[in-house]
């Protein structure tokens, strides 16, 4: 338990109903706090509905662990109470600290009984001192041995929840706490023990932050682990959700047998560090794989694809490999994919002493690494988090953003170059690299490396395809323009990048797509920072030449003799700086200037002529000035 050390201050805030006082809001206000009032109000807004508990779960105290937007841990103890009008309400005591101060295991120990008396929270007001971190350490330290002793009592719940997280590590898990719980199913008091078992089994292998609520009325909050008395329809807005109830699986699938072996190892090594070696050592980064690949590696590591020796009683569907379509020499119906919204089945026959049979005989050899390719090191934790980041993971995104802010530019650049990140993670990475405080202090070497990488990937801009989360073309153009403004435009005159820059702008200026036109306007004419990029003369010359192509009918040089049915020529690579531009041999379907004139009409032509004259004059002045 050497991780119980106070490594930072612990602030405390008390929230209870205090009326709106003429302000817009919920009336759940910070009535006492050790931090400044603005920070306390900000925390209250972030916690939002987590400060309220109503309905069947409101009659019980509960504990919530979540994260603030800046990565601080928020540990909330909630009690049912009544307001001054006698109406049901909630009072909450919130601890605020960094992740080194309020660690997961410590928070789980504090969740098993809380750390504050309700009377004190109901009477608190005004300024409070910082909370005593040593008291929290001692309290959690004293409780954890007893919680470890109770792990065998929640073995069944651990197996079912572990199976769901093995199948899809991005899932949130919701435990159903029925009034009449099935045999071997935890009651409300044992929920923190289940959460502790899951944390000790997986550690950081899932690549997700451990957030939880020990009891609530809704499992739609963006928390990793929840326990509720009943299930309401889930909209999916907080990410995938696995709902687990306490009836035993009559036809256990592969993931249940794998989970049973992992839980058995955990119960035999309860005091080991979080993360069983079958996952953290044999399958580092396995949570980022697809289920088929992960299942194959788990079979190889755990040996769950082998048939137990004769005499071992198994359910009918469990002979041989769990996912085989043939059992005992006869055809069998393939087992349907389980519904993600509920994991439920009938109890096992009483004769089955081991509901999830394992391999018998000599112990398996120590697991060997299977995920890392030959001659490669295991994937770093940050890389795993970036690869696993997906839309809708609000809490995971908060953790990832906080982690990115702590990393140097060089490390973020290496992640950008990896070529293994999904589009959602690339956006977070580029946003962090483009933050003002980084751009201002960035070394020249890294600036050039970033510029080259961004140009090599065409600004990560796809004008003709759907963007991340179905982003509109205008949004994609704006993001690409901001990227161009901070990463490329300041180095536009450097000869190391001019050829790539010319090729990029050549393609963009000849692309008739409206999204590309938006990008050109926001990057070259109206950049976000208000500073027109200092492009080389040859680039301005080519942009002006393309702009003068009117409605697809440019003026052809006398030396060019196109045939009546000639097809447009392949765009030529732009010349290097300080050379005259090569003549264009054929027009695109609609030119850059054509997008300014509209479709047809004398008014459009007159407008194009006037704009073209202005552009030519401006270009001549600029070329004369910079030459």
Q: Please choose, from the candidates 140, 178, 136, the residue with its C-alpha nearest in 3D space to the C-alpha of residue 157.
A: 178
Residue 451 domain-assigned? no
- Final residue of a domain: which of 326, 342, 365? 326
Q: Give yes or no: residues 125 and 181 share one domain.
A: no
Residue 87 domain-assigned? yes
Query: Under 8 Å CB-to-CB from 165, ≥6 apart: which residues?
Result: 171, 173, 198, 202, 206, 242
Average pLDDT, the chain: 75
Q: Give yes or no: residues 200 and 232 share one domain.
A: yes
Of the two residues 322 and 466, the one the predictor is more confident about is 466
Query: Under 8 Å CB-to-CB from 511, ≥6 apart: which residues?
Result: 463, 588
Q: Where do the DSSP E strands lie in 257-315? A: none
Residue 250 is predicted with a pLDDT of 65
In the block, residue with structure tokens 């120590």: 366
Strands 126-127 and 88-97: unpaired
Residue 150 is predicted with a pLDDT of 96
Q: Give yes or no: residues 264 and 115 share one domain.
A: no
Rounded to whole angstroms, how far apart are CA atoms 212 and 64?
A: 6
Q: Give yes or no: residues 234 and 309 share one domain.
A: yes
In the block, residue with structure tokens 């140009």: 455
Residue 54 is predicted with a pLDDT of 67
Q: Give yes or no: residues 126 and 263 share one domain.
A: no
Question: Do residues 389 and 422 touch, judged by C-beta distance below 8 A?
Answer: yes
Strands 330-331 and 212-213: unpaired
Phi, psi of 124 (to 5 degrees): -70, 145
- Final residue of a domain: which of 149, 173, 203? 149
Q: Give yes or no: residues 164 and 269 share one domain.
A: yes
Question: pTM for the complete prediction?
Answer: 0.53
What six digits make up the tokens of 146?
Answer: 């007893």
Residue by residue, DSSP assigns 4-19 as ----S-BEEEEEEE--
Residue 300 is predicted with a pLDDT of 87
In this predicted structure, which of 23-32, 37-46, 244-253, 434-443 has the lowest mean pLDDT? 23-32
What is the percentage of the chain residues whose pLDDT exceeds 90? 30
Scanning 124-223, the segments in alpha helix (DSSP H) are 133-149, 155-167, 191-202
Residue 339 domain-assigned? no
Residue 280 domain-assigned? yes
Handedness of CA 614, 617, 621, 624 (dihedral sign): positive
Q: Please choose, from the candidates 509, 505, 1, 584, the residue with its C-alpha nearest in 3D space to the C-alpha of residue 272.
A: 1
Rounded to whole angstroms, how far apart are CA atoms 401 and 422?
A: 15
Cβ neighbourhood burial of 600 (10 Å; 0-12, 13-18, 19+): exposed
What six digits make up the tokens of 71?
Answer: 């990565």
Rounded to whole angstroms, how far apart are CA atoms 22 and 19?
A: 8
Domain count for the chain, please give it: 2
How far is it between the farthest Cα atoms of the chain? 95
Residue 125 domain-assigned? yes
At 364, is the secondary structure helix, strand, or coil?
A: coil
Question: Do residues 512 and 588 touch, judged by C-beta distance below 8 A?
Answer: yes
Q: Give yes or no: residues 24 and 116 share one domain.
A: yes
58 pLDDT higher than 70: no
Residue 225 is predicted with a pLDDT of 95
What six digits make up the tokens of 442?
Answer: 């960035």
Q: Give yes or no: residues 70 and 111 share one domain.
A: yes
Q: Give yes or no: residues 229 and 189 share one domain.
A: yes
Phi, psi of 87 (to 5 degrees): -90, 150
**What is the number of helices (H) and of strands (E) in the chain?**
21, 12
Rounded to whole angstroms, how far apart are CA atoms 199 and 222?
A: 18
Rounded to whole angstroms, how far apart are CA atoms 472 and 443?
A: 34
- Final residue of a domain: which of 326, 356, 378? 326
Q: Give yes or no: residues 166 and 144 share one domain.
A: no
585 pLDDT higher than 60: no
**pLDDT interval class at 323 (50, 70, 90):** very low
Handedness of CA 207, 209, 212, 218 (dihedral sign): negative
Of the two residues 131 and 342, the one the predictor is more confident about is 131
Q: What is the pLDDT of residues 482-496, one digit of tens each?
A: 999 999 999 988 888
Rounded to whole angstroms, how far apart are CA atoms 560 and 571?
A: 16
Mean pLDDT of 276-303: 89
Which residues span the domain enclosing 131?
11-149
Residue 371 is predicted with a pLDDT of 36
Of the two residues 604 and 618, the one the predictor is more confident about is 618
Q: Give yes or no: residues 168 and 291 share one domain.
A: yes
Q: What is the pLDDT of residues 199-242, one digit of tens each?
A: 999 999 998 899 999 988 788 888 999 998 888 775 555 668 88
Rounded to whole angstroms, how far apart are CA atoms 300 and 305?
A: 8
Rounded to whole angstroms, how far apart are CA atoms 305 and 324?
A: 9
549 pLDDT higher than 70: no
Residue 279 domain-assigned? yes
- Most confidently predicted of 27-36, 248-257, 507-516: 27-36
Residue by residue, DSSP assigns 27-56 as SEEEEEESS-HHHHHHHHHHHGGGG---GG
Phi, psi of 78 (to 5 degrees): -120, 140
Residue 74 domain-assigned? yes
User: What H or E segment, with its residue span, contains residue 341?
Assistant: none
What is the percentage of the chain residues whose pLDDT exceeds 70? 68
Q: Give yes or no: residues 197 and 289 share one domain.
A: yes
Residue 258 domain-assigned? yes
């Amino acid at each position: 338990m050497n991780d119980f050390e106070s490594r930072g201050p612990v602030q405390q805030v008390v929230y209870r109903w205090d009326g709106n006082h003429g302000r817009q809001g919920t009336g759940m206000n910070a009535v006492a706090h050790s931090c400044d009032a603005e920070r306390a109000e900000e925390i209250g807004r972030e916690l939002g509905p987590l400060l309220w508990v109503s309905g069947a779960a409101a009659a019980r105290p509960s504990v919530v662990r979540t994260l603030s937007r800046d990565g601080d841990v928020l540990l909330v103890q909630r009690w049912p109470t009544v307001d001054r009008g006698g109406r049901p309400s909630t009072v909450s005591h919130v601890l605020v600290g960094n992740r080194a101060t309020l660690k997961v295991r410590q928070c789980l120990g504090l969740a098993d009984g809380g750390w504050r008396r309700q009377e004190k929270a109901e009477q608190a007001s005004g300024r409070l001192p910082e909370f005593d971190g040593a008291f929290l350490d001692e309290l959690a330290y004293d409780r954890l041995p007893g919680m470890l002793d109770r792990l065998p009592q929640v073995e069944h719940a651990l197996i079912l929840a572990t199976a769901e997280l093995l199948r899809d590590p991005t899932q949130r898990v919701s435990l159903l706490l029925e009034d009449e719980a099935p045999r071997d199913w935890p009651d409300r008091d044992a929920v923190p023990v289940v959460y502790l078992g899951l944390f000790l089994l997986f550690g950081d292998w899932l690549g997700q932050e451990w957030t939880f609520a020990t009891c609530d009325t809704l499992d739609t909050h963006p928390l990793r682990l929840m326990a509720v008395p009943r299930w309401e329809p889930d909209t999916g807005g907080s990410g995938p959700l696995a709902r687990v109830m306490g009836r035993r699986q009559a036809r256990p699938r592969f993931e249940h047998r794998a989970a049973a072996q992992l839980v058995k190892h955990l119960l035999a090594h309860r005091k080991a560090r979080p993360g069983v070696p079958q996952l953290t050592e044999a399958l580092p980064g396995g949570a980022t794989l697809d289920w088929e690949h992960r299942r194959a590696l788990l079979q190889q590591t755990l040996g769950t694809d082998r048939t137990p020796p004769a005499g071992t009683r198994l359910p009918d569907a469990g002979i041989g490999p769990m996912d085989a379509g043939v059992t005992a020499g006869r055809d069998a119906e393939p087992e349907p994919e389980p519904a993600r919204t509920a994991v439920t089945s009938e109890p096992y026959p009483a004769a089955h002493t081991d509901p999830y049979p394992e391999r018998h005989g000599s112990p398996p050899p120590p697991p060997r690494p299977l995920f890392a390719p030959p001659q490669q090191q295991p994937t770093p934790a940050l890389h795993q988090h970036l690869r696993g980041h997906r839309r809708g993971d609000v809490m995971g995104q908060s953790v990832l953003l906080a982690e990115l802010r702590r990393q140097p530019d060089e490390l973020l650049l290496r992640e950008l170059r990896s070529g293994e990140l999904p589009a959602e993670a690339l956006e977070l990475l580029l946003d962090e690299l483009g933050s003002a405080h980084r751009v201002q202090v960035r070394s020249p070497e890294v600036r050039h490396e970033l510029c080259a990488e961004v140009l090599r990937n065409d600004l990560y801009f796809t004008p003709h395809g759907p963007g991340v989360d179905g982003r509109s073309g205008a949004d994609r153009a704006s993001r690409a323009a901001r990227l161009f403004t901070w990463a490329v435009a300041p180095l536009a005159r450097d000869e190391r990048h001019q050829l790539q820059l010319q090729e990029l702008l050549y393609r963009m200026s000849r692309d008739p797509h409206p999204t590309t036109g938006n990008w050109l306007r926001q990057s070259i004419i109206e950049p976000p920072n208000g500073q027109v990029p200092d492009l080389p003369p040859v680039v301005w010359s080519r942009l002006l030449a393309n702009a003068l192509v009117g409605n697809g009918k440019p003026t052809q040089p006398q030396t060019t003799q196109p045939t009546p049915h000639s097809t447009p020529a392949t765009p030529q690579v732009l010349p290097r700086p300080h050379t005259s531009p090569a003549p264009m041999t054929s027009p695109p379907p609609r030119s850059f200037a054509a997008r300014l004139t509209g479709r047809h009409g004398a008014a459009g032509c007159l407008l194009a002529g006037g704009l073209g004259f202005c552009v030519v004059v401006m270009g001549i002045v600029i070329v004369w000035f910079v030459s």
